[in-house]
């Protein structure tokens, strides 16, 4: 196991300039063009559920028959 008293200062030295102007990798990341947002179509769609309270109760009998 690593001795934490020695590891913590080492990591602090390694990451001292992380996400700053001195971090070349991060600066290249910032220069990238923004990614296009995801498009989620009909994420809240429940096909057929709009008919439940409209007198269309055939689905209930069908589900009961399938359960048996």
61 in a domain, yes or no? no
Note whether 18 and 26 are within 8 A (CB): yes
Q: Is the dihedral of CA 28, 30, 31, 34 positive or negative?
A: positive
47 in a domain, yes or no? no
64 in a domain, yes or no? no
Q: CA 33 to CA 21: how far, in whole Å?
A: 18
Domain span at residue 19 reads: 1-33
49 in a domain, yes or no? no
pLDDT for the residue 66: 80
H-type alpha helices, 1-68: 4-14, 24-31, 58-67
41 in a domain, yes or no? no
45 in a domain, yes or no? no
Res. 2 pLDDT band, cuts 50 70 90: low
Domain count, the chain: 1
11 in a domain, yes or no? yes
pLDDT for the residue 39: 85
39 in a domain, yes or no? no
pLDDT for the residue 36: 93
Name the residue with higher pLDDT: 2 or 5.
5
Question: Could you give the dihedral angle defined by the CA atoms of residues 9, 11, 12 and 17, in that order, rounded to the nearest 10 degrees?
Answer: 150
Over residues 4-54, the pLDDT tens digits come to: 888 888 999 999 999 999 999 999 999 999 999 988 777 666 665 555 556
């Amino acid at each position: 196991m690593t001795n934490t008293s020695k590891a913590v200062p080492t990591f602090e030295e390694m990451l001292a300039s992380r996400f700053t102007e001195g971090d070349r990798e991060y600066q290249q990341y910032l220069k990238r063009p923004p990614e296009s947002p995801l498009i989620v179509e009909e994420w809240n769609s429940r096909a057929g559920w709009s008919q439940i309270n409209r007198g269309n109760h055939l689905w209930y009998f069908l589900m009961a028959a399938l359960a048996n």
